[in-house]
Copies of this chain bind each other. A is one copy, B any other.
Amino acid sequence: MADGSLIKIGSHQIKDNVGYDLTDLIIGSEGTLGVVVEATVRLLPVPFGNPVTGLATFSDMKTLSEGVQNLSGSGLYPSMMEALNKTSIEALDRLDHADLGKGGAEALLIFQLDVAPAGAVDASKKILQDSGALTVSVTDDPDYAKKLIKIRQDYYQAEAQYGRLIVEDVAVPLSKLPDLAKFVSGLKISPEVTAFLGGHAGDGNFHPNFAIPRDSKAVPEDVHEAINKIFTYVQSIGGTISSEHGIGEIKRHWVLPQLGQEVVDIQKQIKKVFDPNNIMNPGRKVE
């Protein structure tokens, strides 16, 4: 705590409703309420049986997003749905000379069901084909699955071939994912910058990433503008300017338009309860 004292919050129970939920208040507070010096996490068992893993290609990110929506609503409960756009596919092909973009594929989906019900291979394949996928391959073979997952694991390395990476992080409701994909792909960027769109589509969470020249002293103005346009658009369709990465100092001016003055005022009063002298990571998160 700000006064140097140590408190213990949370519960070892799966369900516990004694007192207000301080754990979720501290999680994501970015050190502005206190310093987490110890955390106990719950472990989950390795799922029973083989997962089902698949790769699908689409003509564009909008169609892919529709596929993601349909897979989300299918009752198959995918544990992973990773999406990559055209430039991301090109970067991966350049990295290992594969041919992921063949047949005009401009969007790539890699998905997995950790707990796979009987019939899941055929069902997920059909859902994505019916959603307009160009190609779909689905497997419950662990070795083949590893190869599909590796494509996703290589993604940041593939992007980094093009320069220094500026990584963004927005999310929208799943129903708005096709709109976000369309908006981002329509943005104009100067030719010395490569823009990528990838991320955790099952969470409605896309990372618009920009590879800028390695010798850039600062983020180029047009990249800044593009990011601001994305933020404004995302907020206008009910999305968030930070899904995973946090607010910190850089995004704090976007907090007010997203939450509104009344909620920000409450947040500041809560900050004051924990840190009356404003010494814990000042100037971040909600200030």
Q: Which residues of A contact B (CB under 8 A)?
A: 5, 7-9, 11-22, 24-25, 27-29, 33, 45-49, 72-77, 115-120, 123, 171-174, 200, 202-205, 238-247, 251, 254-255, 258-260, 262-264, 266-267, 269-271, 273-274, 285-286
Contact = CB atoms under 8 A, between A and B. Distances in A.
- The majority secondary structure among interface residues of chain A is loop
A242 B17 contact: yes
Contacts of A19: 247, 255, 258-259, 263-264, 267, 285-286
Contacts of A269: 273
B18 A259 contact: yes
Contact of A203 (B15, B115, B174, B271): B15
A243 B15 contact: yes
Contacts of A29: 20
Contact of A25 (B24, B72, B117, B259): B24
B267 A15 contact: no
A19 B274 CA distance: 15
A212 to B, nearest CB: 25
A22 B266 contact: yes
B258 A266 contact: no
A25 B27 CA distance: 12
Contacts of A240: 11, 13, 16-18
Contact of A15 (B7, B21, B205, B260): B205
B117 A47 contact: yes
A218 B274 CA distance: 43
Nearest to A45: B75
18 contacts: A7-B262, A12-B173, A13-B239, A15-B203, A17-B245, A19-B285, A20-B25, A20-B271, A20-B285, A21-B24, A22-B266, A24-B24, A45-B74, A47-B117, A48-B119, A49-B75, A49-B120, A266-B273
A47 B77 contact: yes
A149 to B, nearest CB: 19
A151 B11 CA distance: 32
Nearest to A234: B13
Residue with the highest number of chain B CB atoms closer than 10 Å, among A8, A20, A255, A260:
A20
3 cross-chain pairs, A with B, having the tightest CB-CB distances, nearest first: A24-B24, A48-B75, A49-B117
Contacts of A49: 75, 117-120
A263 B6 CA distance: 10
Contacts of A45: 72-75, 77
